[in-house]
Structure 1
Amino acid sequence: MRIRTRLALLALTFLTALPAARADEGMWLPLLLKQLNEADMQKKGLKLTAEQIYSINQGSLKDAIVQFGGGCTGEIISDQGLLLTNHHCGYSQIQSHSSVEKDYLTNGYWAMDRSQELPNPGLTATFIVRMEDVSSQVLAGVPTTGIVEAEREKLVQANGQRVAHAAVQGTGYQAFVRPMFNGNEYYLFVTEVFQDIRLVGAPPSSIGKFGGDTDNWAWPRHTGDFSIFRIYAGPDNKPAPYSPDNKPFKPRHHLPISLGGVQPGDFTMVFGFPGRTNEYLTSWGVEETYAVSNPAKINVRDAKLRVLDADMKASDKVRIQYAAKYASIANYWKKWIGENRGLKKLDAVRVKQQQEQVFQQWAESGDAARRAAFATLLPDLKRNYATARDYTLARDYVTEAALGVELMAYANSLLPLLELADNKVPAAELAAAAEKTRKGSVGFFRNYSAHTDQKVAAQLLPLYAAGTPAALLPAYVKTLQGQYTGPGGWTAYAAQLYGKSKLTTQESAFAVLDEVAKGNVQTLRQDPAVLLAQAIIGNYRTVILPTYTAATDNIALLQRTYVAGLRLQQPERKFYPDANSTLRLAYGQVAGYEPADGTKYDFYTTLDGIMEKADPTNPEFEVPARLAELYKNKDFGPYAYKGTVPVAFIATNHTTGGNSGSPVINGRGELIGTNFDRNWEGTMSDIMFDPDRVRNITLDVRYMLFVVDKFAGAGHLVKEMTLVGSANDTAPASNGKKLEKVKVKRKPAKEKA
């Protein structure tokens, strides 16, 4: 009786922890919306059909969504290829056009005609043409048992490449195959990739980064986080390399922009390219993240950020050189801190353990086939995570601390030249490789300060040496530990390293590469930075990587079986695959939240809040004089609502990295904002979703329009857009009042927002 009672309680706990459909959770494949989500979405306020969201036969919402570069999302907002994304997504492009004399990061940039739109070599915008379940083709001939994970992956990759190649043969499209549900299914994505993407407009950092690192991952938020680009195409409206003769791209669909605003409970959906989630991670995976990886990476990045911050404040040149790097480093540093807080708040390890207890009971209580497939699964996962633990930590210290020193990363990039020389390749091949490396180094040195990097090395190298498990530390570094002891030991070593290395300036590094091109590699081989990089990377490849790879390959195989088991165990549950930078749709509703006892957040912010936060002594909270003037004069144009302008709002959509820049769309398929962040209390949603605490943060589209039109004077861009609204539209204002009614002479919306 006690046993049956205990199992019943565990089952009840499991059902409580993992309901069949958790409100607003999920990053859904657009291809499957009709089957899985359409009815639920329409019940919550969607006025469209699944076909109007994703279609391969007619223009649909998907045709207005692009993957911007390699890690963000953008949306098409005019029939002339105008592309809206986040300021932080376009930051590196804005930086690349900036200098001390033309500081577009600080002052912003606006092209007042097409001739002023700036090209960005290497930047792409990728549309999804169609997607297809190709699991049967990819898994054809792949054994289900008796094969190691690495060999299985080779077969899967080869099959996937054949499927992708066949899908686009004779077309101008590209294609790739991605695994879903940890490799239980595979999907083909056919894409159209545009290469001529030009910068059109960006607000000054005092708007685009308002609040800086203080407000990052936080709510309430007042950041005008947007930038505008334009896609150009060849004469046939197809992708083409940059040419002054290219024309603005004509999309199959662009998003109309709603001026109607939002209210609590309004339906919202986010369409974009979320990067990576691990929703089906086991308790051992969560514990490794929470107790091993995140603390180590937070500690290393904290040290690096302190050095960069001080040097950037002391030099405008360094500030511009390191602006994008600093933002990238700080972003995940703060995210990991919030993620750990959230996992602790949810008691995530214990919750996962409860789920695993019920899964184990299900596995053991089944027939012989179920027991054979799943009964030993969780113990095997536990053992492999234990094996991998020290190696995972050592790997984190290599990637974050050792290679977090730019000189080490650069020296590492030169090691293949020595390998070519050691393999005695023909002289012409070595010379060509050296020349290619030389050309690739120009960008590195343009944004590099050896003086700053030396300070970083003095902080990060001792963290690498102390944090790496002793048995996994290179002998070369152990020797350095013995030579450079005491409080200033590593500082002294860094001074010697940077004083003797010839890789710290472009001139001397290029001289070394010129010698390599002539076949003389001794200067490169004997450089102290190369010696250190060789020791660290060589040790990583021979000592750390084999065991780490074997354990993580086993974990990948077991995790795939675990996810398959979960889907068998819970046949009524709607499962969604983890994010993997493929096109997904999330949906939810506008809502505030209560992050802690006695604290309650409303769902929106306004321009009033910007002026309340304004602090001319703090660069993160500077307000441009023009913005202050517009506010003082209440000069808000058609975006005015009772003395203010909405800036941002929050909703319950499930998002992650890669969703930056994603359109936030209402139930009628109209753009109401641009996703740019999550709340700090909700960053654990990559691992565990909590509908009460997880919120995505959205730039209200009306603030974007106000900045473009009234602040920047770029009203010609607004004229390109399709604005929809009616004289009766209302939206929130300060103190919870409704916004005043405004007359908008635009195409009317079918119904009120």
Structure 2
Amino acid sequence: MRFRARILAAAVAVTGFTMTSPPASADEGMWLFNNVPKKLLKEKYNFEPTDAWLDHLQKASVRFNSGGSGSFVSATGLVMTNHHVGADDLQKLSTKEKDYLKEGFQAKTAAEEIKCKALELNCLQSIKDVTAEVNAAVKEGLPPAEAFKARQGKIAELEKANADEAKGVRADVVTLYAGGAYHLYTYKKYTDIRLVFAPEKAIAFFGGDPDNFEYPRYDLDMCFFRVYEDGKPIKPEHYLKWSEAGSKDGELTFVSGHPGRTNRQNTVAELEYLRDTGYPYLMQRLNRLEVLLGAWVARSEANRQEGEDDLFGIQNSRKARIGGLGGLLDPQIMARKAAEEKRLRDFIAANADKVPADAAKAFDVIAAGQKKRVEYIKEMTLLEGGAAFNSHLFSLARTLVRYTDEKGKPAGERLPEFGEARLGSLKQQLFSDEPISNDLELLKLADGLTLLATTFGADHELVKQVLAGKSPRERAYDLVSGTKLKDVPVRKAMFEGGADAADPMIALAKLVDGPARAIRKKVETEIDEPRRQAYSALAKARFAMDGTGNYPDATFTLRLAFGQVKGYKEDGKDVPPFTTMAGLYERSKQQENKYPFELPKRWEDKKSALDLKTPFNFVSTADIIGGNSGSPVVNAKGEVVGLIFDGNIQSLVLDFVYDQTVARAVSVDSRAMIEAMRKVYDATWLADELQGKK
């Protein structure tokens, strides 16, 4: 369930803005915190959250810039998330002597807590509707390029006016309902994050790739960090308390997290693009990268330590896209989407006086854009998406090159990622002293250059310029060994004084920046902007048809989901909602305790001390998607009963449709976490902190 934004964005641009969801039913919905379905909850579950309850849960929730969710769970700034959300940080902090990703980590004192590299947490403080201000900036009749520029200018202006880097305030204007609404999200930003506790990967990801997206599960997928300011742990006003009893079958639970992206109200034309072009092309890249990294990681222990987190992300994305593609190839799902679209088309045709004038032609505009997307997909993916230059060093070079070009431009003319309000986060990433592996960089960059040459052809002028008369492997070696960008002081000097073209990686970034910007501009002005306007018209038509009380598609912003702890039937058999610690040992024995079902030695040694009836993982009907990883699961009292870490295989269609018959969210049970801390890891101090006993 990991949301791998970097991999997916680089792989292929497959989605964009989407319109509102149809009226929610059952436990459907990734709800905005300022538009929670209180009436629905009251009628179905006899529970109505108060504004204070919602405000507390909102401000106890955090977003990881690495692509996941988390929550404050103690009065001294302790943050809970998944092991796989923290895996990137565990790998960055590891050394040749200490492999924290594999072996785990525990800091029993504050002095032992390790500061993370380039990790940023965002805690949502306020939401303001700025739709009128953004729309007013785009005058009627503007050409797409001018409309795009005007809108981005207003968004940059709003973000700059409301951000305050000195006070750690971040401001993002979030596009909702495909442009039907724009909300200003103001966050408290934290950048001093320290690692506190993580179990071994073998128990956090027990079952590995074979059990990923499956159920029953037995994963202790948890990780804890602490937030500091001014050198001291913060004392958050809002943090979640631990439930004494845990959850039970049939209980109403809530999930507060940051679902990454859904496509539930894409037009049929867009879904057909995803089915026929977008996903298959993405799958080709994921399969290629999985074979490449899988073979490399298997060659040595050093390779495994450096590359296994990247490999896991690719495997996770590959399996998730297989499930999504399966949904798009399901005639029943596509028929359902066609019926939903027909309902909207019919409403527009019969209510011309209630909908925007351009709503009727919006479907054709979107369909035309998808034809262009097919034409542009490879060039966009390889050049602007960076797939041809699959290298962290190249990403650093491109950032420096583009910052040098963008910093002098007016706010509305800059690329959005270089807006004034975002420079603080950009610099934190750019100046991180995280280790960079030359061997891994060489492997990935050589493969990217090979992909470029085989896609465009060896005689393509840009390919010849990029390769400079050498093979992809030789050229990659020259670039990786010749660049000085591994040194943070060098990057800082270039950030202040301008990108130095004498550096070979900078020179490469400059060489390809023109073609990359050109294809980006085509996509933005020929596809994205007309499509945005079309979807905005459809969103307003849907508002007229169904009202404004529904949820928008996911945008990696804070949402509230709810559902019951509930099992399901699979192949005619009952799948109970809970697994137990006894089941963990049984599952390992069935697989002869061999990788990836091998238990860490301490789990074998401590078996007799455990209450094997303790619930380990559980499932619920909560509506989640990638990005929800690390989200707290709370009961009606707002107490922690679990930690989201996955969905079952049947949940992979939730990107497009919601169905609670067999789709389930999978969580670590709060009781298993405490049992393991106290009886396996001798982390009584941590359990006491979580349970308010210290």
Q: TM-score range by the shorter chain?
A: 0.7 to 0.9
Q: Check whether the contact 1:215–1:221 (CA below 8 A) recurs between aligned residues.
A: yes
Q: Check whether the contact 2:83–2:223 (CA below 8 A) recurs between aligned residues.
A: yes
1:49-88 equivalent positions in 2, closer than 5 A = 49-55=49-55, 60-88=56-84
The 3-state SS of whatever aligns with 1:99 is: coil
Change (3 A) 1:47 1:22: closer
Q: Which position in structure 2 is the counterpart of 1:706?
A: 675
Q: Deviations over 1:547-588 (max 9, x none)?
A: 5641222112111111211221234x8421122222210111
1:83-482 equivalent positions in 2, closer than 5 A = 83-143=79-139, 145-163=140-158, 173-233=169-229, 240=230, 243=231, 246=232, 248-345=233-330, 347-367=332-352, 370=355, 372-398=357-383, 399=385, 401-404=387-390, 409=395, 412=398, 443=433, 446-450=435-439, 452-456=440-444, 459-466=447-454, 474-477=460-463
Q: CA shift at 1:357, angstroms? A: 2.8
| Greater relative CO (CA pairs within 8 A, separation 6+) | 2
Change (3 A) 1:370 1:30: closer
Change (3 A) 1:168 1:509: closer
Structure number, greater radius of gyration: 1
In 2, the alpha carbon distance for the partners of 1:602 and 1:473 equals: 59
Q: Check whether the contact 2:145–2:525 (CA below 8 A) recurs between aligned residues.
A: no
In 1, the alpha carbon distance for the partners of 2:42 and 2:271 equals: 35
The 3-state SS of whatever aligns with 1:176 is: strand
1:540-559 equivalent positions in 2, closer than 5 A = 540-542=516-518, 545-547=521-523, 549-559=525-535
Q: 1:503 aligns with which of 475, 480, 495?
A: 480
In 2, the alpha carbon distance for the partners of 1:123 and 1:692 equals: 38
Q: Which position in structure 1 is the counterpart of 2:409?
A: none
The 3-state SS of whatever aligns with 2:343 is: helix
Q: Which position in structure 1 is the counterpart of 2:42?
A: 42
- Structure 1 unaligned regions, length at least 5: 1-17, 234-239, 421-435, 485-491, 724-745, 748-753
In 1, the alpha carbon distance for the partners of 2:466 and 2:142 equals: 43
In 1, the alpha carbon distance for the partners of 2:526 and 2:310 equals: 33
In 2, the alpha carbon distance for the partners of 1:353 and 1:616 equals: 48
The 3-state SS of whatever aligns with 1:719 is: helix
The 3-state SS of whatever aligns with 1:504 is: helix
Report the count of equivalent residues: 650
The 3-state SS of whatever aligns with 2:629 is: coil
Change (3 A) 1:47 1:448: same
Q: Read off the aligned partner of 2:249 and give its amino acid letter.
A: P
TM-score, structure 1 as length reference: 0.77
Q: Which position in structure 1 is the counterpart of 2:634?
A: 665
- Structure 2 unaligned regions, length at least 5: 1-20, 407-425
In 2, the alpha carbon distance for the partners of 1:543 and 1:89 equals: 32
Q: Which position in structure 2 is the counterpart of 1:627?
A: 603
Q: Read off the aligned partner of 2:78 and give its amino acid letter.
A: L
Change (3 A) 1:473 1:539: farther
Q: CA shift at 1:605, angstroms? A: 1.8
Q: CA shift at 1:380, angstroms? A: 2.3
In 1, the alpha carbon distance for the partners of 2:161 and 2:498 equals: 43
Q: Read off the aligned partner of 1:609 and give its amino acid letter.
A: G
Q: Check whether the contact 1:474–1:536 (CA below 8 A) recurs between aligned residues.
A: no
Change (3 A) 1:197 1:449: same
Change (3 A) 1:90 1:616: farther
Q: Check whether the contact 2:442–2:480 (CA below 8 A) recurs between aligned residues.
A: no
CA RMSD in angstroms, aligned pairs only: 3.8
Q: CA shift at 1:285, angstroms? A: 1.2
Would you say 1:601 and 2:575 are equivalent positions?
yes
In 2, the alpha carbon distance for the partners of 1:645 and 1:200 equals: 24
Q: Check whether the contact 2:114–2:194 (CA below 8 A) recurs between aligned residues.
A: yes
Q: Which position in structure 1 is the counterpart of 2:665?
A: 696
Change (3 A) 1:378 1:416: closer
Q: Which position in structure 2 is the counterpart of 1:28?
A: 31
In 2, the alpha carbon distance for the partners of 1:703 and 1:494 equals: 49
In 2, the alpha carbon distance for the partners of 1:357 and 1:48 equals: 35
Q: Check whether the contact 1:442–1:506 (CA below 8 A) recurs between aligned residues.
A: no
Q: CA shift at 1:411, angstroms? A: 6.2
Change (3 A) 1:404 1:62: same
In 1, the alpha carbon distance for the partners of 2:508 and 2:362 equals: 41
Change (3 A) 1:413 1:583: closer
Q: Read off the aligned partner of 1:697 and give its amino acid letter.
A: V
In 2, the alpha carbon distance for the partners of 1:403 and 1:663 equals: 37
Q: Check whether the contact 1:647–1:703 (CA below 8 A) recurs between aligned residues.
A: yes
Give the stretch that moved more between structures: 537-546 or 352-361. Answer: 537-546
Q: Read off the aligned partner of 2:30 and give its amino acid letter.
A: M
Q: Check whether the contact 2:41–2:48 (CA below 8 A) recurs between aligned residues.
A: no
1:482-501 equivalent positions in 2, closer than 5 A = 493-499=471-477, 501=478
Identity, % of aligned positions: 27
Q: Read off the aligned partner of 1:696 and give its amino acid letter.
A: A
Change (3 A) 1:691 1:518: closer
Q: CA shift at 1:382, angstroms? A: 1.6
Q: Check whether the contact 1:100–1:316 (CA below 8 A) recurs between aligned residues.
A: no
The 3-state SS of whatever aligns with 2:95 is: coil
The 3-state SS of whatever aligns with 2:554 is: coil
The 3-state SS of whatever aligns with 1:66 is: strand
The 3-state SS of whatever aligns with 2:27 is: coil
Q: Read off the aligned partner of 1:184 and give its amino acid letter.
A: G
Q: CA shift at 1:122, angstroms? A: 3.0
Q: Read off the aligned partner of 2:39 and give its amino acid letter.
A: A
Q: Deviations over 1:461-515 (max 9, x none)?
A: 55445556x8x9953438999x99xxxxxxx93343245x14336679879x799
In 1, the alpha carbon distance for the partners of 2:194 and 2:476 equals: 38
TM-score, structure 2 as length reference: 0.83
Change (3 A) 1:535 1:677: same
Q: Read off the aligned partner of 1:622 and give its amino acid letter.
A: E
1:564-603 equivalent positions in 2, closer than 5 A = 564-571=540-547, 574-594=549-569, 597-598=571-572, 600-603=574-577
In 1, the alpha carbon distance for the partners of 2:217 and 2:532 equals: 38
